[in-house]
Amino acid sequence: MGIIKNRPENRVPLWFMRQAGRYMAHYRAIKDSAGGDFIKMCKDVQLATEITMGPIAAYDFDAAILFSDILFPLEQLGLGLSYGEGGKGPRLERRITSLADVQAMRACQSASDYYQFQRDAVASIRQKLPAEKDLIGFVGGAWTLFAYAVHGMGEITAAEESKLALYDDRFKVFMEKLAPNLLESMLLQVAGGANAVAMFDTSAGELAYCDYEQFVFPVLATLFKSFRSECQCRYQKEVSLIYYMKHATYGHLDLMKSVMGENDVVGIDWRFPIGRVLRDYGKHFLIQGNIDPSWLLFPWPKLERALGDYWQEVKLHAGKNLERWVCGLGHGVLKESKEEVVGKAVHYIKGHYCF
């Protein structure tokens, strides 16, 4: 990624998950202009571009991340997708309750046609984004998408029904249908100009490690291998992969060593001591994270102290792998965060997290 190879000003590069979101007045104004239609905000190229560029203009992050949603693959596979008013979240018209439901799934449109809105949005953003900044595309992770398909609505975790579905072939058959379409989404974002693609598998950490290793990780490994091969075949270039899982463990990081290269990125949440993670895993892949998003709700004096102590811990333990770090949050920016505090945090990190 450019933020590693072309590191600005000898400092740690920085971007936040959900850096374009509800905490920003800029975002809320666009949402109002779109009548609160979240799907329109994602699929309208001009709106998606403007939302994506908002935090770049406001905070000068080192990377932009495509404004979109992880659940569009479920719409493409015919499950129907809508968003309730008042921030009630996503709802599927149909959910996966049996193997027959999975077998009956039919794509409403080919992936190459359906995901053109993402390709076009990435291309539009790339034209407006300064050349030295990375442009990150993204998709949802295999387990997280499956858990949504089983649950059908709202914020989800890996509930018992989803876990049981690992053992009755629902997950296996679902992945046979999802994986090629998810791959096409990733590749079309690269075609538009993304130089990294992130996979957010937020709910996968809710699984027992043995279930993740047996069922989910092989899907991930195959998908990443196919992505690298197709990037070389179609575009004759390497594109960095970013993988994030909430509630990951050191066991998950060990698995990542077999599928992530030195220019790929593993995002971790705030539960890890990041200095030690950099020390032990930085030679294998880049590490992103892992400031607690709730810190951005602190009064500035308390946040300033927390960021200073955090930096000292990273420097103490990371050693020579300090330069293998991409600073960010352990999850997304909370909607209650104040823009002024976010701005002060970004300014502090850029001014103090230096080599």
Say whether the peptide bond before residue 290 is cis (omega within 30 degrees of 0): yes
Per-residue pLDDT at 4: 63
Stated pTM of the model: 0.95
Q: Sheet harboring 196-200: ordered strands across?
A: 63-65, 134-140, 196-200, 240-244, 265-267, 286-291, 325-329
Of residues 1 and 352, which shows the higher confidence score?
A: 352
DSSP state of 11: B
Q: How many CA atoms lie within 13 A of 244 on its CB side?
A: 26
Dig out the tokens for 56 from the structure: 């770049």
Q: What is the pLDDT of residues 95-123, one digit of tens each?
A: 998 999 999 999 999 999 999 999 999 99
Distance between CA atoms of 337 and 321, rounded to whole angstroms?
A: 31
Cα–chain-centroid distance for residue 313?
25
pLDDT(158) > 50:
no
Confidence (pLDDT) at 167: 87
Alpha-carbon distance of 223 to 174, in angstroms, equals: 14
Helices of type H across the chain: 2-5, 25-33, 38-43, 45-59, 72-76, 99-103, 111-114, 116-128, 142-151, 160-164, 170-192, 209-211, 217-235, 250-256, 274-281, 300-318, 339-352
Residue 261 has φ and ψ, to the nearest 5°, of: -95, 180
Q: Count of CB atoms within 10 A of residue 64's CB?
A: 26
Pairing mode, strands 63-65 and 265-267: unpaired
What pLDDT, on the 0 to 100 scale, is given for residue 292? Answer: 98
* Per-domain residue ranges of the chain: 14-261
Q: Within its chain, how far is the Cα of 245 from the centroid?
A: 9
CATH of domain 14-261: 3.20.20.210
**Rounded alpha-carbon distances, angstroms, from residue 46 to 4, 5, 67:** 29, 30, 11
Bridge partners of 290?
Answer: 328
CB 134 within 8 A of CB 63: yes
Segment 60-84 shows an average pLDDT of: 95
Residue 152 pLDDT class (50, 70, 90 cuts): confident
Going by C-alpha positions, the residue among 292, 308, 289 that lies closest to residue 351 is: 308
Q: 271: burial class by Cβ within 10 Å (0-12, 13-18, 19+)?
A: middle
